[in-house]
Structure 1
Amino acid sequence: MGKLYLIPSLISEINPLEVIPLGTKKVIENTKFYIAENAKSARAFLKKVVPYIQQSSIEVVQIDKHRSENDFFSYLDKCKEGENVGLLSEAGCPAVADPGSLLVMEAHRRNIEVVPLVGPSSLLLALMASGLNGQNYAFVGYLPVDKHERRRKIKELEARSLKDKTTFIFIETPYRNTKLIEDCLQTLRPDTLLCIASDLTGPKQYIKTLKISDWAKENFVTLEKVPAIFLIGVQP
């Protein structure tokens, strides 16, 4: 029986062999069927990792939110036929802040071996570099779009962080980054710590953790169109 490989993709414009280890590269060399969020970008990534790959020799199917779960899960039939299947995220690790977790769960139900591979994870890299509590943390995804709901959520996370010393990690659509930062500066306590991390592993990598009172004095980097990770917490 074939295996389901969870293959991390790039999170910045960089030579993939700087962050993709040899073991992951070998799996890509020997896998011919892939499931991806975007077929075109997935093929471009595979070509970067293995430049000599023949595009005609691989098949990449795109996750389609309009397909039924049964149609989506049918891709795992390849494993039953003895062929390995690769699951690719658009950026970072599959099934983490990513739609692939449903497919992974179905693989477990079918007794298909799931193999996570090593590669960049923006969430863990940001947590590692933040200086915030790495013993007790939670990823809460996107905050509410509505300004009042977003500020209410930020205050709620801060209260939980103060109570349990939990680090909270969240993300935002790049064009709303500035508004999110403004909400944090205007909502959080002066001594609460905020970390902003962007372009991780890339040439313009930016990671800084400051108290809110100190962020207010900073001309922080422009993040309007750059994917970023945000963390709030207290001193561990």
Structure 2
Amino acid sequence: MSKTDESPSSGILYVVATPIGNLADITLRALDTLRSVHFIAAEDTRHTRKLLSHYDIHKPLVSYHAHNAEERGPELIDRLRQGEKIALVTDAGTPAISDPGGLLVTQALEAEVEVTVIPGPAALIAALVVSGLSTHPFAFLGFPPSRGKGRRRFFTSYAAVPMTLILYESPQRLQRTLEDILDSWGDRRISVARELTKKHEEIFRGTVAEALEYFSENVRGELVLVVQGAQEKNEPEVLEEDWKEELGRLISVTNLSVKEATEKIYSQYHLSRRVVYQEALKIKKT
């Protein structure tokens, strides 16, 4: 159930997309909406204030982010029920994609408050269309877990997905993520979009191994990774005993080092480097 604009019993939650970098990338409808609402719920009020100042918009700002969403959400819902109109914005792009905005949308719908979207920029779509990779189907994976079993499970679970994969990543973790992609998904084609729509926008296109070398120095800015999906293989199924037997022969008979044997098995059977390397260490110890 939804409410109409004229209904005095309930307000409206506007999900408003804002620029991902270049302030000119905002729609006229978004500007009209930001000027018309009672107040704006922003992920970072300081960041949003710069946008509002640029367009001479003067509206109250309320913070709504990952650290206060649980307590601030009910407050916003109460104000919507009282008939206020609220614009929800994130730091950049479309809310509810990589921020807690989705929670507020769900709460508003459960409260039978009208929710409407003011579409506009989204970093994942911008990066996808300039990547040179297949634009459909695709899967958006967000930020990989930072560490531990969750991170390993993340890369393992998506290794065989045949569609283009899109990830967000921080500059500090780019190298590690590229290494994990190479190890778990193989040396696929990849596009790394950095600082989209900004002055120093850069689009890298190549293989994962080439990206590792290209971004070996300090990296700055917002990053979107677009990775080629898993390719169908017409090769016969690889039996575990076959590659393990070959790995043992390389180490025990031909006296290759653990690293050299791992690379040969990886190249021949297209397996995870980590899995092969761990097995090689076990063989070396026996």
SS of residue paired to 2:49: helix
Deviation at 1:197, TM superposition (A): 0.8
Question: Which protein is bigger by CA-based radius of gyration?
Answer: 2
Aligned to 2:168: 171
| Matched-pair contact (CA < 8 Å) for 2:159–2:184 | no
Larger relative contact order (C-alpha < 8 A, sep ≥ 6)?
Answer: 1
Q: Does 1:78 align with 2:79?
A: yes
Count of matched residue pairs: 222
Q: Does 1:45 align with 2:51?
A: yes
Aligned to 2:16: 7
State the AA in 2 paired with 1:158.
Answer: A
- Mapped to 1, the partners of 2:140 and 2:73 lie a distance apart of 26
State the AA in 1 paired with 2:208.
Answer: I
| Matched-pair contact (CA < 8 Å) for 1:36–1:61 | yes
Aligned to 1:231: 226
| Matched-pair contact (CA < 8 Å) for 1:151–1:184 | no
Note closer, same or farther for the CA distance 1:176–1:68 as it changes in structure 2 (3 Å cut).
closer
SS of residue paired to 2:142: strand
- Mapped to 2, the partners of 1:64 and 1:174 lie a distance apart of 21
Aligned to 1:102: 103
Q: Structure 1, residues 119-147: CA drift from partner, whole Å, max 9, x if none? A: 21001111112232322221112223238
- Mapped to 2, the partners of 1:64 and 1:159 lie a distance apart of 34
- Mapped to 2, the partners of 1:95 and 1:38 lie a distance apart of 14
Q: CA RMSD in A?
A: 2.8
Aligned to 1:205: 201
| Matched-pair contact (CA < 8 Å) for 1:4–1:79 | yes
Q: Structure 1, residues 154-186: CA drift from partner, whole Å, max 9, x if none? A: 3542322xxxx2111112222222332344345
SS of residue paired to 1:131: coil
Instruction: Structure 1: state its 5+ residue gaps.
Output: none
Aligned to 1:28: 34
SS of residue paired to 1:130: coil
State the AA in 1 paired with 2:20.
Answer: I
- Mapped to 2, the partners of 1:193 and 1:121 lie a distance apart of 22
Identity %, equivalent residues: 28
SS of residue paired to 2:214: coil
Note closer, same or farther for the CA distance 1:235–1:201 as it changes in structure 2 (3 Å cut).
farther
Bigger Cα displacement from structure 2, 149-158 vs 138-147: 149-158
Bigger Cα displacement from structure 2, 84-93 vs 110-119: 110-119
Deviation at 1:69, TM superposition (A): 3.4
With structure 2 as the length reference, what TM-score do the two structures score?
0.68
- Mapped to 1, the partners of 2:113 and 2:141 lie a distance apart of 29
Bigger Cα displacement from structure 2, 143-152 vs 101-110: 143-152
- Mapped to 2, the partners of 1:62 and 1:214 lie a distance apart of 41
Instruction: Structure 2: state its 5+ residue gaps.
Output: 1-9, 232-286
Note closer, same or farther for the CA distance 1:19–1:64 as it changes in structure 2 (3 Å cut).
closer
